Structure 1
Amino acid sequence: MSPLPFWQLLLMLVAALVASRFIAWWLWRALAFSGPRVGRGLTGLAQRPRLGGWLQRRFPGTTRLVAARTAVDRFSGLPLTLIAALALYLIFLGVGLVEDLVEGEELIAFDRRFNDALGVIRNPHVVDLFGWITGLGNTETLVAVMLVATGFLWAHGRHRYIPGLVLAVVGSQALTYAGKFAFDRDRPDFVTFATASTPSFPSAHATGAIAVYGFIIYAIARDLPGMGRRFELGYWGLVLIALIASSRAVLSVHYVSDIGAGLLVGGFWLLSGFALTEYLRQREGVRRL
């Protein structure tokens, strides 16, 4: 099947971005307005004298543990609980993906079919565009971006963010390259100008993009005023990460499961960087009291 015209592919991309932004904004608004009400409702339910007293008498240890893990006034409460739960979920997804890759042929067959299906969008202009996009996830580029971000964080007195950034990047890359040589998966056939020498699984571009750019988005949005500004920063930052990750499949240097594994690895270490940063921020706040 011959590739579609570039103008048609470009219109499809723009339409997808417009539709996804509308949906993401609707979900963001729904979460922003309903989340606090739900939280206040649950807190009020737990604080009812009869119910709270009965729970404390019946399950004193469990009640204290749940109260500590769901407290909203400190990071070690509900925020850490949610981060830990999401990180555990990413681990489960990653383990399942590895099992499918090692034990079954279905994932391998799906990867090959998906890679062949992408031939419809491998228009020469699209390949050139995604070749430029994939450069934003190269090791050299990510190292440069990380160093620049570290310099800005240091210059603005936000020293507590630097260890989290380093943890997210170093941890994700170390696990990614360990996985590459442990599984030693062959790459797909190189059908464009792009080539690579390391094994295929998982994608270091996807891992590095979500670790580096994801942490920078967090560092900027953490204290950014205005819900709209945080949304725009987060949405377009995620679009950038998605484009970098998908460029590896468009250029036929990774299978889609390689990219998924890379995003899971990078996402896990990104959450670890969040947790470390918030812990350091909370400890610094306690010291100032």
Structure 2
Amino acid sequence: MKNKLYLQFYGSCALVLFASLGYIVKFYASWIEPFDTFITNGIRSLQPTWTTFFLWVTKFGNPLTVIIIFLAILFVLLYGKRYVEAIWYSAGVIGIAGIFNPLIKLLFMRERPTIEHLVSEHSYSFPSGHSTGSMVLYGTLIFLVPIFIQNKTCQRIIQLLLSVFILSIGISRIYLGVHFPSDVIGGFSVGLGWLLLTYPIYEEKRFIWRFKSKQN
């Protein structure tokens, strides 16, 4: 119960952060310009050394890649009769990354940065779809790692690598010039809010499912 309250509190904080950023972006965009400019200049100062890496890592947040990885993981979960996990995973990737994020972009209609783009993008900027998608897709896997791997040390290593991977995808969007830092933070906040608020619900459903399965 204690962990549930913590998760719900932090999840709520993430959504409050998203709502606050969205309000500023929509009505007082000039307020956040100094922050966006400072972070963008710092990250893009790494050019061209990191260009190859960020062009590579950003592909793991592309819609097609996300769909392929999602379907592969979904197949594994269904094959292993992990139905509760499959439902939670699908709800996040389809509902939040696939439907909610594109729709919410239409509310803010923020134009992308006017600096040079190293990849082609045509939709609105806030919140970053790559950031939301990677947080939901790979973030869910962070929670599900213990299901597949029993060794605690291996669990922590894989979870850390997935966390760094998510962060790298977000940074790549700034480095490549297609997103403001506030877009990335907004996307991460949406995805993280979803994960932290729904994980306790998933845990409860998983416990009930396992209990019923044992009875049968």
Residue 89 of structure 1 corresponds to which residue in structure 2?
13
CA shift digits 1:53-97 (9 cap, x unpaired): xxxxxxxxxxxxxxxxxxxxxxxx333322222221112212222
* Change over 3 Å in CA distance of 1:92–1:203 after alignment to 2: same
Quick one: distance in 1 between partners of 2:147 and 2:165?
Answer: 19
Contact 1:167–1:272 (Cα < 8 Å) also in 2? no
**Which residue of 256, 271, 274 maps to 2:199?**
274
Counterpart of 2:140? 215
Q: Is residue 2:200 matched to residue 1:200? A: no
- For the 8 Å contact 2:84–2:202, the answer to whether it is kept is yes
Cα offset, 1:223, TM superposition: 5.9
Is the contact made by 1:206 and 1:263 (CA closer than 8 Å) also made in structure 2?
A: yes
Amino-acid identity (%): 23
The letter for the 2-side match of 1:85 is F
Q: Which moves more between the two structures, 258-267 or 108-117? A: 108-117
Is contact 2:12-2:197 (8 Å) kept? no
What is residue 137 of structure 1 aligned with on the other side? Answer: 61
**CA separation in 1, counterparts of 2:46 and 2:128?**
21
> Where does 1:150-189 land on structure 2 (aligned, <5 Å)?
150-173=74-97, 174-189=99-114
DSSP-derived class of the 1:185 partner: coil
**Equivalent residues, number:** 212
Q: Which has the higher contact order (CA 8 A, sep 6+)?
A: 2
- Is contact 1:171-1:269 (8 Å) kept? no
Partner of 2:37: 112
Partner secondary structure for residue 193 of structure 1: coil
1:191 shift after superposition? 1.4
Deviation for aligned residue 1:273: 4.5
Which AA in structure 2 matches 1:164? W
Cα distance between partner residues in 2 of 1:169 and 1:273: 13
Distance of 1:271 and 1:170 partners within structure 2: 17
In the alignment, the residues of structure 2 paired with residue 182 and residue 103 of structure 1 have an alpha-carbon distance, to the nearest angstrom, of 12
Structure 2 unmatched ranges of 5 or more = none
Runs (4+) off by over 6 Å: none
Q: Give the alignment partner of residue 161 of structure 2, picking from 236, 255, 274.
A: 236
CA gap 1:275/1:171 in 2 versus in 1, 3 angstroms: farther
TM-score, normalised relative to structure 2? 0.90
Shift of 1:190: 4.3
Structure exhibiting the larger radius of gyration computed from Cα positions:
1
Whether contact under 8 Å (2:25, 2:108) holds in the other structure is no
Q: How far off its partner does 1:119 sit?
A: 3.2
Between the aligned partners of 1:276 and 1:142, the Cα distance in structure 2 is 24
Are the structure 2 counterparts of residues 79 and 116 from structure 1 closer, same or farther at C-alpha, using a change threshold of 3 Å? closer
Q: Is the 8 A contact 1:115 1:255 kept in 2?
A: yes
Equivalent in the alignment of 1:74: none
| TM-score under structure 1 length normalisation | 0.68
C-alpha displacement at 1:126, in angstroms?
Answer: 1.7
Distance in 2, Cα, partners of 1:121 & 1:249 = 11
What's the counterpart of residue 99 of structure 1?
A: 23
Q: Given the alignment, which residue of 251, 257, 261 partners 2:182?
A: 257
Render the CA deviation track for 1:229-255: whole Å, top value 9, x for unaligned.
221011011011111111000001000
2:34 partner letter? A
Amino acid in structure 1 at the alignment position of 2:171: S
C-alpha separation between the residues in 2 aligned to 1:259 and 1:131? 16
